[in-house]
Structure 1
Amino acid sequence: MSSEFALSRKSKKFLEDLRVYLITSKKSLDDVNDIVNDLEDHLYEAEQNGKTIEKIVGSSPKEYMEMVSGELTTDNKSWFKYICLIIFGSFTFMLFPDILTLDLSYSVLDIVSHIVISSMFLLFAFAYLKCTIIKKYMPVKRAILFLGLVILISAISFGIVYLNQNISSPIINFGTLGSIIIAVIMTVFLAGLVFWAAK
């Protein structure tokens, strides 16, 4: 029987937290999977022998996660690609309602602000996940922290919308041909994304 189904709830929760912590620390996904799978096997063997999770990871999950993270190389290059994919993907959803008109037109501030907001959202989301795992906040504190994050992102978004309405910014008009090319790129990108996610 697979250890995935035999592990205690506490061990499963720790493995989930460890995976999220390592991912938000920008470690290689392959390394993360290898570490988590190896630890899963160790925890399964320990539990089969009547040992607790503390016998494997120690009394401080935070220190164990930090130790494992310190042993892995930070994969900035791959994560830069992932972040670019996420930002580009969010652009496709922003453009989709307008793509049917085949006359895309956006100000430079529109484009820059979207990149800034998407980047900040990812940065804050990673920080939130990492912080809540390490600090072990109670549900109420986690909800307050999440609400604060949403309010901050919303305030920045409204601020940029205000600037866009009150500051002149060069307009980029893609025209019919440019809009068709972007529509094709979006379709290929989304198809590739679906294929990648299904693998």
Structure 2
Amino acid sequence: MISKEGKQYIESMRGYLISHGVKESEMEEFLEEAEVHLIKGERNGKTIEDIFGKSPKKYAKEIVAVSTISIKENIKHIINLIIGTFGFIITAILINRPLELSVLELVGYPVSFILWIAFAIATLRMTAFKSKTNELLLTFLCALIPSAVTVAVLIYSQSYNETILTIEGIPRYVLGSILIIVMIINFAVLFNLKFSFLYVILVFGSLWLFEYFKLEQVMYSELRFVLPGVLTYLMWRFYGRKILLDQ
């Protein structure tokens, strides 16, 4: 049985290889071999450093250097990230109110989405082989900039920009339902169906409760994104990553 430290090493290595677009078949083959080496080595009293060297990141870079970098794999991960980001924000707005888009939003949201993708990849690379505390701190810091841009677009578009497109009434609910179904399928492909349903129910359920109890009347309306954000991190940290690790 692999140790806790060994699991963390495999988990970090997976994230690092994914962030560099290593071909999935090669990545899985390497991780399976690495896990076997870890199990055998730990049985003989060896540490991770004894098995893979003192610098895990240096070793990971060597693996990337001799691996096949697949544009297809990169595109697949980017598409999944776009679906997750687009779907979450747009559905959150549709739950709260009709979707009203201004010029600022039509320009600002794509920019913020690109930033989310870039910083998500950077986070995977930067947090690899770090301690839990450093991992949490780096994840928080990496999320600050895209979060700030997204929130800024939300705030200023409502105050200083004229709406050029409005989706309300039945189309609003139809679009929201379609996006939720697409997100369920997206996360089911990435993780599994159980995780997908649980994530969607928790995250969008919290947004619906915010709207149902009219909490925007007693607190700043954009705070409705705080709980979903916390739930997203917790689901990923304690469940999503475990699923990826066990694949």
> Can you list the C-alpha shifts for 1:24-70, whole angstroms capped at 9, x where unaligned?
22223333222111111122223334444334312322221111111
Determine the structure 2 residue equivalent to 1:193: 186
Determine the structure 1 residue equivalent to 2:13: 18
Change (3 A) 1:122 1:112: same
CA contact (8 A) 2:24 2:73 kept: no
Give the alignment of 1:113-124 within 5 angstroms: 113-124=108-119
Query: Which segment drifts farther, 95-104 or 180-189?
Result: 95-104
1:182 aligns with 2:178: no
1:164 to 134, 138, 157: 157
Change (3 A) 1:113 1:57: same
Deviation at 1:86, TM superposition (A): 2.5
CA contact (8 A) 2:93 2:99 kept: yes
1:128 aligns with 2:100: no
Provide the C-alpha distance between the structure 1 equivalents of 2:136 and 2:48, rounded to a whole number of angstroms. Answer: 28
- Give the aligned residue type for 1:112: V
1:94 to 89, 104, 118: 89
Structure 2 SS opposite 1:106: strand
- For normalisation by structure 2, the TM-score amounts to 0.61
Gaps of 5+ in 2: 194-247
Query: Which segment drifts farther, 173-182 or 103-112?
Result: 173-182
1:153 aligns with 2:146: yes
Determine the structure 2 residue equivalent to 1:7: 2
1:62 aligns with 2:57: yes
> Can you list the C-alpha shifts for 1:54-92, whole angstroms capped at 9, x where unaligned?
343123222211111112222232322332233233333
Instruction: Give the fraction of aligned pairs with identical amino acids, expressed as a percent.
Output: 26
Provide the C-alpha distance between the structure 1 equivalents of 2:171 and 2:13, rounded to a whole number of angstroms. Answer: 45
Change (3 A) 1:93 1:7: closer
Change (3 A) 1:131 1:37: same
Larger radius of gyration: 1
> Can you list the C-alpha shifts for 1:134-168, whole angstroms capped at 9, x where unaligned?
6x4783x6565445434433443354346535664
Determine the structure 2 residue equivalent to 1:41: 36
Give the alignment of 1:73-84 within 5 angstroms: 73-84=68-79
Provide the C-alpha distance between the structure 2 equivalents of 1:132 and 1:71, rounded to a whole number of angstroms. Answer: 22
